[in-house]
Amino acid sequence: MNELRPDLARTTLGVLFMAGLILAAFWVLRPFIGPAIWATTIVVATWPLLRKLQARLWQRRLPAVLVMTLGLLLLFVLPVTLAIVTLVDKADEIALAVKQLASLQMPTPPEWLTALPFVGAKIQAFRDEAVAAGAQGVWVKLQPFAGQSVRWLVAEVGSIGYLVAQALLVVVLAALMYARGETAAAGLLRFGRRLGGRQGEATVVLAGQAIRGVALGVGVTALVQSVLGGVGLGLAGVPYAGLLTVLMFVLCLAQLGPILVLVPAVAWLYWSGDSGWATFLLVVSLVVGTLDNFLRPMLIRMGADLPLLLIFSGVIGGLLAFGLIGIFVGPVVLAVAYTLLQAWVGDGTGETAVRID
């Protein structure tokens, strides 16, 4: 017993030291964890595209990395910059519109709108109440919400520089991963094999497939929906179509859909009397709003052969637990846990649902 105590103490202290060292490393790298996760997701999802591009560029990696990096700059940094420039350019118009709110007259709603069942009478009652109270009365009711909106906008504007820096960091990390992707993948496979043998290696492969499936299913679907919705907004003449397109993209990533932007735009066009373009945008909204029902499952199946309910639960749960980055972290965690549970239920045979050949 006396001979075992020093070994037990040494082992315990060694484990505690390694755990403390790992926690300290994560603490030091904390500002880079979010961008690193985004960069890893982008690289894993677009790696086949890099390989095809490299084959077309005489099997040279550097030109392919430069082209992919330029594409990421155009996709991530340019939209943020354009949004900031648009907000700055339209700042005077926004301020003037806020000052003119007190003098606005409540328009008369169309007859078809007030004739709608359940909501038509409420719309008419709201309009009559607003007219009776006058513009000043309406402004008094809206002022608390306006104050909250201003405070939120000031806070967000203060973080714009940080957002641009994070986007640039994502692009830089992605470029480094593109350049040394095979080395990083081999290291992860060795790490998984060291932890759990063939089962651990298959788990690493599964994580990569889950990342690719979610990136294709969630990211590409959000991009297609927002682009089509933005084209519809632009053709219909809706103001600030560019900013609304960016907002649609964020809402689609958050699994809320583009309808939250398109439906108010359709209502605004009908309210303005432009029924033709309003009907056009309504058709576009129906198409874009239902596009994800078949596009997302198809794209997810291209990346990972996993239950759609598991992927969807991981997206929603990860978003609520970790924020926007949880869209990709959540499905990966559930996919790995699901596969390990399958292997354990299979009487410890070590078989998995993922092939690593």
Confidence check: pLDDT of 289 > 80: yes
Instruction: Return the higher-pLDDT residue of 92 and 297.
Output: 297
Confidence check: pLDDT of 350 > 50: no
Instruction: Return the higher-pLDDT residue of 257 and 356.
Output: 257
In 3D, which of 298, 316, 309, 308 has the Cα closest to residue 256? 316
pLDDT of residue 178: 92
pLDDT of residue 353: 46
Q: What is the pLDDT of residues 224-252, one digit of tens each?
A: 999 899 999 989 988 878 778 878 887 88
Q: Is 219 helix (H, G, I), strand (E, B) or coil?
A: helix
Q: Residue length, the chain?
A: 357
Instruction: Return the higher-pLDDT residue of 93 and 327.
Output: 327
pLDDT of residue 119: 65
pLDDT of residue 286: 92
Return the percentage of the chain with pLDDT > 90, whole number: 13
| Two structure tokens written together for 75 | 């996709």
pLDDT of residue 357: 38
Q: What is the pLDDT of residues 63-92, one digit of tens each?
A: 999 999 998 888 766 666 666 666 666 656
Cα–Cα distance between 32 and 37 in angstroms, integer?
9
Q: What is the pTM of this model?
A: 0.66
Confidence check: pLDDT of 284 > 60: yes
- Mean pLDDT in residue range 19-24: 91
pLDDT of residue 185: 87
In 10 A of CB 263, how many CB atoms? 15
- Mean pLDDT in residue range 203-213: 80
- Mean pLDDT in residue range 274-282: 88
Confidence check: pLDDT of 317 > 50: yes
Instruction: Return the higher-pLDDT residue of 30 and 160.
Output: 30
| Phi and psi at residue 110, to the nearest 5° | -60, 155
Residue 218 burial (C-beta neighbours within 10 Å; 0-12, 13-18, 19+): buried
Average pLDDT value over all residues in the chain: 76
Residue 203's pLDDT band, with cuts at 50, 70 and 90, is: confident
Q: What is the pLDDT of residues 143-184, one digit of tens each?
A: 555 555 555 544 544 455 666 677 788 889 999 999 988 888
Q: Is 104 helix (H, G, I), strand (E, B) or coil?
A: coil
Per DSSP, 357 falls in state: -
Q: Give the CA diameter of the chain.
A: 93
| Two structure tokens written together for 349 | 């045979």
Confidence check: pLDDT of 274 > 70: yes
Cα–Cα distance between 201 and 188 in angstroms, integer?
8
Radius of gyration of the chain (CA): 26
Confidence check: pLDDT of 5 > 60: no
Confidence check: pLDDT of 7 > 90: no
Q: CA separation (Å) from 333 to 112, 327, 340? A: 50, 11, 11
Cα–Cα distance between 156 and 162 in angstroms, integer?
10
- List alpha helices for the chain, DSSP H: 4-28, 30-56, 61-72, 78-89, 91-99, 111-114, 120-158, 160-179, 181-214, 221-236, 241-253, 259-271, 275-303, 308-322, 326-345
Residue 308's pLDDT band, with cuts at 50, 70 and 90, is: confident
Q: CA separation (Å) from 146 to 101, 217, 264? A: 11, 37, 19
Poorest-pLDDT segment among 100-114, 253-267, 284-298 = 100-114
pLDDT of residue 77: 66
In single-letter form, the type of residue at position 188 comes to L
Residue 355 burial (C-beta neighbours within 10 Å; 0-12, 13-18, 19+): exposed
Instruction: Return the higher-pLDDT residue of 98 and 18.
Output: 18
Q: 163 with 35: CB under 8 angstroms?
A: no
* Residues whose CB is less than 8 angstroms from the CB of residue 321 and which lie 6 or more positions away in sequence, other chains included: 330
Cα–Cα distance between 93 and 72 in angstroms, integer?
32
Instruction: Return the higher-pLDDT residue of 337 and 97.
Output: 337
pLDDT of residue 143: 53
- Mean pLDDT in residue range 100-127: 62
